[in-house]
Amino acid sequence: MVKNKGSDVGVHNKYSIIIPTYNERLNIALIVFLVFKHLRDVDFEIIVVDDGSPDGTQDIVKQLQNVYGEDRILLRARPRKLGLGTAYIHGLKHASGEFVVIMDADLSHHPKYLPSFIRKQNETGANIVTGTRYVKDGGVHGWNLMRKLTSRGANVLAQTLLWPGVSDLTGSFRLYQKSVLDDVIKSCVSKGYVFQMEMIVRASRKNYHIEEVPITFVDRVFGSSKLGGSEIVEYLKGLVYLLLTT
């Protein structure tokens, strides 16, 4: 048998992978397939938190449950679109692993990186391992120059003001010790990109051990982004808020 290189992690913990979805019918099956492919000898469950997607995401998830089993794919739906922050909290209530991974459904967060998150945690004993685009071997794909500059500028500004000791503040591809996620998420009130930043800044202020692994972030192919509007204004307001409260 040819052994999958990426899956050869050799740890015995259980991992709960929380994937929030809103209209991800075209992405969810692929992401689930890829998670199974890359975590072949790891004990894990996938918790899909779907907010009543009108595109029938839940029908696909139910088919996936038939294929992989309801103990591996948990569907924890909510009646309507209630936002990402509370979607994580909702998923977390149903998590039975010692570790929790949070990732997007749109393939921006590629499951091929999961073994490196797990390995890094195991090697270092970290409380949190966060994916970073801003180190060697990390990066973004499918963004134009303007978007790259905005993202980079926002990150540099936040680094300067908040000095959190983490290179990528707004990325959301992360692995947490479950107890640590329970603790940190309670103290966070922000929404959107600021939420991810608040999580890591508060974790850093609480002196949790945070490690990073390089990831390449790829822009979504199917569907459209759910975060829109005056993102930059919201981001700056969030930055000021964190500056004053942490």
Ligand X SMILES: *[C@@H]1O[C@H](CO)[C@@H](O)[C@H](O)[C@H]1NC(C)=O
Ligand Y SMILES: Nc1nc2c(ncn2[C@@H]2O[C@H](COP(=O)(O)OP(=O)(O)O)[C@@H](O)[C@H]2O)c(=O)[nH]1
**Contact pick of 5, 12, 80, 136 for ligand X (by CB under 6 A):** 12
CA pair distance 121, 175, nearest whole angstrom: 8
Which residue, chain included where needed, has tokens 């794909």? Answer: 141
Residue 49 lies near ligand Y (rule: CB under 6 A): yes
Residue 76 lies near ligand Y (rule: CB under 6 A): no
CA pair distance 241, 213, nearest whole angstrom: 28
* Partner whose binding site includes residue 11, from Mg ion, ligand X, ligand Y, none (CB under 5 to 8 Å by kind): ligand X
**Contact pick of 135, 225, 232, 243 for ligand Y (by CB under 6 A):** 225
Nearest-CA neighbor of 22 among 231, 228, 224? 224
Residue 167 lies near ligand X (rule: CB under 6 A): no
Residue 56 lies near ligand Y (rule: CB under 6 A): no
Residue 11 lies near ligand X (rule: CB under 6 A): yes
3 state SS of 45: strand
Residue with smaller CB distance to ligand Y, 36 or 235: 235
| Ranges of H-type helices in the chain | 25-38, 57-68, 84-93, 114-124, 145-162, 178-186, 192-205, 231-245
Residue 106 lies near ligand Y (rule: CB under 6 A): yes
SS (H, E, C) 187-233: CCCCCHHHHHHHHHHHHHHCCCCEEEEECEEECCCCCCCCCCCCHHH
> Measured from the CB of residue 203, what is the shortest distance to ligand Y in angstroms?
20
Q: Could you give the string, one character per residue 123-162, with x where binding to ligand X holds by CB under 6 A and - elsewhere?
A: --x-------------------------------------
Residue nearest Mg ion (C-beta atom): 106
Distances in Å between the Cα of 124 and the Cα atoms of 77, 103, 113, 129, 238 are 35, 21, 17, 10, 31
Binding site for ligand Y (CB under 6 A): 20-22, 24, 49-51, 81-84, 87, 104-106, 108, 220, 225-227
Binding site for ligand X (CB under 6 A): 11-12, 122, 125
